[in-house]
Amino acid sequence: MIKVNDNFLRIPSSYLFSEIARQVSDYCHTHPNAKIIRMGIGDVTRPICPAAISGLHAGADEQAQASTFHGYGPEQGYQWLRNAIATHDYASRGITSVTPDEIFIGDGAKSDLGNIGDILSPDCRVAVTDPVYPVYVDTNAMAGRAGTLSENGLWNRIIYLPCTKENGFVPELPHEVPDVIYLCYPNNPTGTTLNRQQLKVWVDYALANNALILFDSAYEAYITDADVPHSIYEIPGARQCAIEFRSFSKTAGFTGLRLGYTVVPHDLKGFGANGEEVELHRLWLRRQTTKFNGASYVVQRAAAELYTPEGRRQVRQTVDYYMANALMLRNGLTEAGFEVYGGVNAPYIWVKTPDAMSSWDFFRFMLEKCNIVVTPGAGFGPSGEGYVRLTAFSTHEATTRAIERIAALRTR
């Protein structure tokens, strides 16, 4: 008999983006001349920068010659890329403790965020912010850590940390003590951040309670404020309690190429059922060498070019391009009378719906009145109700047009 993993049967099908697509398609059907601007989905639009493209070409040519051909590489990634990451993403920011050996190259942050649960007990109690990037919740549900889904859409074994304008989008320490805490800063979907002091509260809490922080810093490159940490390892003690996940997707446009990395410090220890202390690094290395055969050579070759002076300048340009959109959206929405959060250290703008409108009603309002597609905040969790998310990943032209339409709302 084919017995399936019943945990999958308890997970509701993710209907957020399919429901958005259905409603947009229905609208286009009845309004064939509508010029829709999509600010809902979190994919990037700028092409990959010339430095990385030259790396891709060079890598492809090397694969064509027996003398330079690369077959299976190290499961943890090539040493030259891990060295470049340790130097440019950590040492250059004053974090000299992260060694290349603690950096694992993978095919994107989503895989690693989903797979990390392999090395954790199914008993672990998990805390997530609400609203949240759905991957954290669904992967724990698949592993059986989430318990059962209640009427209100919450899992009974997951500890939710509401982030709303009332608490300044800063999660409060939970009453029940979790074993694992997911933090994503700068945040998707709210675009808000934690400053050093606010992140230190969580590091101190994790150390005091023997909890693990899974720190998703996919949007690190978008930070502009000096007081916002780029890495959790800027906080003393984080090496004893945190794993950090990064991605080349939103930074360098690698959403289609696929590459990311995960830092597992040697100082980070967990416990077996018999009380035995074990380095999480050892377990993750074992997991990766068993289930993963390494990221593509050609893609790693391209990523290495991002760390050259030219590559870094080009990445900066792309990030600046999106952040100019974020500024346009923030200003335009504020001038039109909306309450706006995020967009300063992140490519996401989190907008309060007017007149206590529900997030789906405001989604339809924006679709019908402005022909702009936004993402209803309720799709990211109950505390996302009353908000919508806009992304800064469009072109300048589309963003400008979107702002003109939003400004026209006032004069209607």
Contacting residues toward ligand PLP, per CB under 6 A: 42, 108-110, 133, 184, 188, 216, 218, 247, 249-250, 255, 260
Q: Compute the least distance from the CB of residue 248 to ligand PLP, in Å.
A: 7
Q: Which is nearer to ligand PLP, 133 or 233 (CB)?
A: 133
Q: Compute the least distance from the CB of residue 188 to ligand PLP, in Å.
A: 4
Nearest partner of 188 among 238, 262, 250, judged by Cα: 250
Q: Which is nearer to ligand PLP, 109 or 328 (CB)?
A: 109
Is there a contact between 206 and 241 (Cβ–Cβ < 8 Å)? yes
Q: Which amino acid is at 73?
A: G
Q: Compute the least distance from the CB of residue 187 to ligand PLP, in Å.
A: 8
State which residue has the least CB distance to ligand PLP.
108
Q: DSSP labels for 131-172?
A: S--HHHHHHHHHTT-S--B-TTS-BTTEEEEE--GGGTT-PP
Nearest partner of 34 among 370, 412, 407, 396, judged by Cα: 370
Q: Compute the least distance from the CB of residue 246 to ligand PLP, in Å.
A: 8
Is there a contact between 40 and 19 (Cβ–Cβ < 8 Å)? no
CA 229 to chain centre: 16
Nearest partner of 353 among 390, 391, 324, 328, judged by Cα: 390
Q: Compute the least distance from the CB of residue 41 to ligand PLP, in Å.
A: 11
Phi/psi of residue 253, each to 5°?
Answer: 70, 25
Q: Which is nearer to ligand PLP, 138 or 332 (CB)?
A: 138
Q: Which amino acid is at 241?
A: C
Q: Compute the least distance from the CB of residue 133 to ligand PLP, in Å.
A: 4
Is there a contact between 120 and 128 (Cβ–Cβ < 8 Å)? no
Q: Which is nearer to ligand PLP, 344 or 403 (CB)?
A: 344
d(C-alpha 16, C-alpha 165), whole Å: 23
- Residue 213's Cβ-count burial label (10 Å; 0-12, 13-18, 19+) is buried
Q: Which is nearer to ligand PLP, 253 or 332 (CB)?
A: 253
Q: Which is nearer to ligand PLP, 114 or 237 (CB)?
A: 114
What tokens does 397 get?
């032209």
Is there a contact between 383 and 405 (Cβ–Cβ < 8 Å)? no
Q: Compute the least distance from the CB of residue 216 to ligand PLP, in Å.
A: 5
Q: Which is nearer to ligand PLP, 179 or 244 (CB)?
A: 244
